[in-house]
Amino acid sequence: MAYNDEKEVAIRAEQMLGTALRSKTSSFADHINRREGEPSIKDAIVKSTVKPYGKVRNGTKKFYLRSLSIKMAKHGFIQNAGVNTTRSGGTRTRHNPQETTYGFKSHIMKMNAQPFIEEAIESSNVKEFVMSEVTRLRNEEIVLNIRNIVESIRR
């Protein structure tokens, strides 16, 4: 399919990467202590930033794809990168079934990286798609601008 502007490319890239990301996270178990309304890794979405330039009045309005980003709960990025650190000690207060305050010691926290984001990006082929389509569209625009300049010089 031939895309006419980068806004269409951005929408298709969002769909491609979003589908691959949902496929990778669908096998994850839900967090046991997740409260109602708290975000889940499975709720990840892909957003593109498209910048408009030009004006509709004179027919120069164009859209340029600026970025493609993944939005998810922060623990998804932590799980993707892994953790190897020492957690500091402190106190916590529990309110249910009765109020109790207790202390805990500092301890080592180690979680191996699970690079599901990189796997989703690779399996979706979104990088190759965006690079080829944006390159094609911008090349066409450059050639059109050069042609317009040459025609204006000839007049």
Residue 91 lies in a domain: no
Write down the mean pLDDT value for the chain.
90
Number of compact structural domains in the chain: 1
- Whole-number Å distance between alpha carbons of 29 and 112: 17
Q: What is the pLDDT of residue 65?
A: 95
pLDDT above 90 for 54: no
Average pLDDT over residues 97-110: 92
Residue 21 lies in a domain: yes
Q: What is the pLDDT of residue 121?
A: 96
Confidence of residue 31 (pLDDT cuts 50, 70, 90): low
Residue 116 lies in a domain: yes
DSSP code per residue over 13-31: HHHHHHHHHHHHHTTSPPP
Q: Whole-model pTM?
A: 0.79
pLDDT above 90 for 130: yes
Q: What are phi and psi of 40, to 5 degrees?
A: -115, 160
How many residues appear in the chain?
A: 155
Full residue range of the structural domain in which residue 41 is found? 6-83+111-154
Residue 104 lies in a domain: no
Q: What is the pLDDT of residue 35?
A: 75
Residue 97 lies in a domain: no
Residue 105 lies in a domain: no
